[in-house]
Each structure stands twice: as structure tokens, then as C-alpha cells.
Amino acid sequence: MKSATAIAGLVSARVRDRMVDRVRELGVRDPRVLEALRQVPRHAFVDPALASRAYEDTALPIGHGQTISQPYIVARTAELALQDCADPKQAKVLEVGTGCGYAAAVLAQLFGTVISIERVRALHELARNNLRPLRIANLRLAFGDGALGVVGEAPFDAIAAAAAGEEVPAAWIEQLKPGGRIVAPVGVDDQRMTIVSKDTQGRVQRRTTEPVRFVPLRGGTV
């Protein structure tokens, strides 16, 4: 059990501010994203044995071969999803790969509605337990094959993925609202963050940004 002193250290503004400063130094500039990182208690989403490392800019294991993404990656994904979004507080976003729920909580600070889907039942339940104390009203979790999207909630203003496929799944493009964008890592050995945008006529454009390293996008559920 953590001591009161250790817990106080984790929740202190200074610890979170250092994390945010590091993310800013790495290139994330959107003040809305930086404030969202500051608001979400990352230590609440990691194993207690790793809580002392919660505010390092590093990925940490959460079990089942998955990780909680480093804060920079969470922030960069959110920043790219926000770009060209005219009214984020009215936007509906799909996150593919809930994991422990941390990135979903960050996205929920920025967008009107966030749907987050996870294919691993144990992680879906972990995220639900992690998020319950935070009472985030505009965040809903789904269990299912994220590669298929969430048809019943479509269309989405943005889709953000936390796993890398060889291509962006066609289902995501179909479920993307005209004027929206997908932010997803693409590739196997050489992964790149990829932005897929759909214009108001439904035409699709792709561009890539920086190299990244994500877990593989897998189909089905376990």
C-alpha cells in the first residue's frame, strides 16, 4: 500500500507540470492538449508497483502484452486529432485500443463525446475500473473488434488509434464523417503516424508524419 507521502507526491501539481513541460519540449504546442494532460491523473492508470514512474515520458506495461502509451504520444495523437476540428466540444471521437483508459480520459477532456473500444476483455474491464472514480460523463467504453470500428456510434468527427496496422482499415474510413480525420500509426517494421482526412465531398487523402512504435492492430476479441 502506498504511503500518504508517496501518494501526495504523485498528485502534486509540480510532478504533473514536469511531465507537461517535457511533452512541450518534445514539440506538442496546443495549450488545450497540455492542459488535458495536466488534468488526468496518469498514476491512476498504472500498476501500483509502477506508480512512481507514472509521470515519466515512457510507455509502461499494463499486462496482456500491451502498454500505456508515453504521454508525448498521447498528446501528439490528440493534437493531430484536434487540427481542423471546428468545434471539438461538439465532436464525436472514436478511440481504437482503450488499453488502461488513460488516453481515452485525455481525449474526453478535449472532445464532446468519446467512444473507446478494446478487444481484450480483461483490459476493457481494467479501463472501466480505472475510469469509474473519475466519473467522466462524456466517455463511453465498448468491448469489440476495434478494426471494425463501432457502426452503431458512427459517423465520427475523428478516429484515433493506439495500435498499428499495415493499412488504415476501410471500416474506419467508412465511419469517418466528411471533414473528419483519422490519426493512426501505420506499418509493421517501419511505422509512421498517418493522418487520413475525408473532405466534404467524401474524397480521402493521406499523409504521414513522424516515425512511431505501437503494438500491432489485431482483429477479433479475446
By annotation, the residues acting in catalysis are 69
Looking up cell 475510469 gives 131
The residues facing 158 across adjacent strands are 93, 181
Cβ neighbours for 79, distance < 8 A, ≥ 6 positions apart: 28, 29, 30, 33
Residues 133/116, Cβ–Cβ less than 8 Å = no
DSSP 40: S
d(CA 86, CA 6): 41
